[in-house]
Amino acid sequence: MKTELLKKHHFWILFGAVPLLVGLLLILLYAGPADAIGEESAKYKKRSDETGAANAKGVGMLAELAKQKETLEERRGQLWGINYDRQKKEGVFAWPGSGRDKYLKELEKLDLRFGAKGVTTLDPAKEADTQFLVINDEMSKFTATSNYNEAYKNLATVVQPTQFAGGGWQAVLRHVTDWGNAARPDSSLFWLAVEDFWIQRALLKPIAEVNANAAKFDLVPAAAGAENPLKRKFQNRTWEIDIEVGTEGTNRVLKSKLKNKTDRLQMLGLNKTMRLNVWFDDPKLDRSKPFEYRIGGELVKGSGELVPKIVPELHKIPAGLEPVAIYKIEQILDETTVPVRIIRRIELGFRDSKRATAEMKMPSFFPEEAVVETTTTGNTGTIGSSENGPPGGIPVPGGMYGSGVATGTSNRGTPEQVLLGNKKRYTERTEQVRRMPIGMDLVVDQAYVNDVLIALGNSPLRIQITQTQWQRFREQLTVAGSPSAPGGTLPSAPGTGGGGGGDDDATGSGGARPPINFGSGSSGGFGTSTSALPTEQVTAGLVELAVYGLVSVYEKTKPKPVDPTKSVELKTEVPNPEAPSTPAAPIAPTPPPK
């Protein structure tokens, strides 16, 4: 009965439910989008408020930014000038051979820009100091043996008694050994050779400074009322010496007591002798000459003392020399006492591990070359190891840890091998500065490692030290008075063609380098023992120090203007070698108009 009733009235039942369902659907349709719209509206309003709160930079702010940029450029130029002037003042750009050749001296005075081209007629359309007039063939004079080789020879004497591995500077420093028969080198070769000399001289100067500072003794002030100018105490990092003017019989002699301030066994020097320069007069006076005082004896143990035996023939103060006071003492260093014992390698253009893949740049006076993808072979290794040594920081016997890349083909040979082969030499080259990576391998007394790094950091070259490594020096050196000691040799530096053999030096030797001879076995006249010294006593405390860095060579700041209405013509001069005469000075570029 109920089922039939529902069937009879289902239309009306459904008709009544439809509005309810439609209303519920409309409520759902309106509620969902409204919430989404509200959320988006809130986000839009928030972004709008944030945008409105920000103050847009107007024309005034842009002008201020431009002014700041101008100030920064001005400051940049000032720092450029400061760095260039410092390098010039401290002799970085001093010309090799200018002290012996008047024309090179005049050329140095012109203060030319790096890369200036030698011409026969100045071009008025170009800057004056980008070209220089060749009237006396200065470039040919520069390559003359009396200038070029002598300049390097004199350079090597600066670091004496520090030794060069391989028998001399020829085996370590980059230089041209054969200029050929050309009348004069191309200006590009000329400048590359000059730059190599500049940088290597500047790298040796800090080593000389470390040696010189180690030789100095400082006066220890005496207690109040106890000052005696003829009896004083001096000290440096290693030694303390009480020294006085006394008598031995009828002679006036120097007496002393020497103390080792360190906890290490210390050698006195070659032939078991320490040599000291002693000034009895103010060293600033021209008449003041040092008296060489010698202390002989065995090795001095850590914190030990030595009272040297008086030898009148050596310690007697000469007649006519009246000591006023003991003003100054300085040690005469030798191959066994100098802090930087050996210079094993100096490499220009040698990249550290971080820059091993960096693209090297040439000087601006070379046309840019197309980049060619190549794989570096035969030039990886470590300073102090063979050229084909294992890369990636694997220790190499007799060498250093770490890896690096040398860019050139040779450090000795013809201009094409040494100069053109190493023309890609900079990691950075701008209008203001040329940055060249360098590597050095030194054998140093471990007490002076920091001194070497500080001296390099203070160099006018603005050397940025990027990587250092050191390890104990385990090789053997020939020792004075030790014929039974093993005759060790220094390892070969990387060569030009791999295989681990050293390059031929000036004497034609190759492969294993000869040992450094530390002198004869004489006792120096002090009656001391001539027993052989173990090699370990000579090499104790020595470390092999590898230093990688970037040197910054600054360009000249302000080129000289040129008068476009004038030019200088070449005036030829034919010298007569048989008739001595005073040659004419080189003609300088046209001076700027007043």
Q: Please report whether residue 439 resides in a domain.
A: yes
Q: Does 205 share its domain with 273? A: no
Query: 309 CB contacts (<8 Å, ≥6 apart)?
Result: 296, 297, 526, 527
pLDDT digits (tens, 9 = 90+) for 296-323: 887 899 899 999 888 888 889 888 788 8
Tokens matching residue 72: 């920064």
Q: Does 196 share its domain with 324? A: no
Q: Does 200 share its domain with 255? A: no
Q: Picking from 11-15, 232-236, 445-449, 542-546, which range would have the lowest pLDDT averaged per residue?
A: 11-15
Q: Does 531 share its domain with 544? A: yes
CA of 345: how far to CAs of 151, 398, 450, 551, in Å? 19, 13, 19, 16
Confidence of residue 64 (pLDDT cuts 50, 70, 90): confident
Residue 437 belongs to what H/E stretch? strand 433-445
Task: Name which residue leads in pLDDT, 479 or 175.
Answer: 175
Q: Does 429 share its domain with 532? A: yes
pLDDT of 131 strictly over 50: yes
300 class by beta-carbon count within 10 Å (0-12 exposed, 13-18 middle, 19+ buried): buried
Residue 393: predicted pLDDT: 34
Residue 30: predicted pLDDT: 66
Residue 369: predicted pLDDT: 62
Q: Please report whether residue 130 resides in a domain.
A: no
Task: Name which residue leads in pLDDT, 95 or 449.
Answer: 449
Number of domains, the chain: 2
Residue 403: predicted pLDDT: 43
Amino acid occupying residue 393:
G
Average pLDDT over residues 382-408: 40
Residue 445: predicted pLDDT: 94
Q: Does 236 share its domain with 193? A: no
Neighbours of 55 (CB within 10 A): 7
Query: 570 CB contacts (<8 Å, ≥6 apart)?
Result: 120, 121, 133, 134, 135
Q: Does 269 share its domain with 224? A: yes
CA distance 103 to 147: 12
Q: Please report whether residue 396 resides in a domain.
A: yes
CA distance 162 to 339: 8
Task: Name which residue leads in pLDDT, 218 or 321.
Answer: 218
Tokens matching residue 82: 């400061």
Q: Does 402 share its domain with 506? A: yes
Residue 17 exposure: Cα atoms within 13 Å on the Cβ side: 6
Q: Please report whether residue 294 resides in a domain.
A: yes
Q: Does 413 share its domain with 515? A: yes
On whether the CB atoms of residues 480 and 299 are closer than 8 A, the answer is: no
Residue 409: predicted pLDDT: 55
Q: Does 176 share its domain with 236? A: no
Q: Please report whether residue 290 resides in a domain.
A: yes
Residue 570: predicted pLDDT: 39
Structural domain containing residue 261: 218-331
Q: Please report whether residue 127 resides in a domain.
A: no
Confidence of residue 198 (pLDDT cuts 50, 70, 90): very high
Q: Does 401 share its domain with 523? A: yes
Q: Please report whether residue 76 resides in a domain.
A: no
Predicted TM-score (pTM) of the model is 0.73
On whether the CB atoms of residues 381 and 388 are closer than 8 A, the answer is: yes
Q: Please report whether residue 583 resides in a domain.
A: no
Q: What crossing angle do the helices spanning 187-215 and 148-157 adopt, rounded to 10°?
A: 20
Confidence of residue 34 (pLDDT cuts 50, 70, 90): low
CA of 375: how far to CAs of 42, 284, 380, 423, in Å? 60, 59, 11, 18
Tokens matching residue 320: 């006519």
Q: Does 176 share its domain with 271? A: no
Confidence of residue 59 (pLDDT cuts 50, 70, 90): confident
Neighbours of 351 (CB within 10 A): 26
